[in-house]
């Protein structure tokens, strides 16, 4: 069993920064990696970023490339998402998930999900 807990969300002005953190417990060592998705009201869940632990590769949606960074914080045993230059369109509930398949950009490749953390970016 895997349990995920996100933290770090909140209210921030446009142009500001937030750092989200995902703490995982369970047998994540046997999985491919971790990912971040987001969902705004009335919209589909959208891929944001993912990290493949085995390959040491990171992947980003075009909408966040150059602004967001996903990385392992080994000291805290978490997977974090550093979010810079935030825009109002980044407002959403952000979810971390465990990558259990091969298609990192598809929600169907993730077998475990956290409860989500709200990110609100004001103008």
Choose among 109, 65, 72: nearest CA to 90.
65
Strands 117-122 and 10-13: parallel
Beta strand 46-52 with 2-7: parallel, antiparallel or unpaired? unpaired
Per-residue model confidence (pLDDT) at position 118? 98
Q: Which of 30-44, 78-92, 100-114 is predicted most confidently?
A: 78-92
32, pLDDT greater than 90: no
Give the Cα separation of 67 and 114 in Å (integer). Answer: 23
- Give the position of tokens 């369970």: 26
Residue 11 has pLDDT above 90, yes or no: yes
Place of tokens 């392992």: 72
């Amino acid at each position: 069993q895997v349990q995920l807990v996100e933290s770090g969300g909140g209210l921030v002005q446009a142009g500001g920064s937030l750092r989200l953190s995902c703490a995982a417990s369970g047998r994540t060592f046997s999985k491919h990696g971790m990912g971040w998705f987001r969902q705004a009201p009335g919209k589909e869940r959208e891929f944001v970023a993912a990290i493949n632990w085995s390959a040491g590769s990171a992947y980003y949606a075009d909408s966040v490339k150059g602004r967001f960074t996903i990385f392992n914080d080994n000291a805290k045993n978490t997977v974090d998402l550093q979010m810079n230059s935030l825009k109002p369109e980044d407002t959403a509930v952000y979810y971390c998930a465990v990558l259990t398949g091969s298609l990192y950009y598809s929600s169907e490749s993730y077998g475990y999900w956290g409860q989500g953390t709200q990110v609100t970016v004001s103008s």
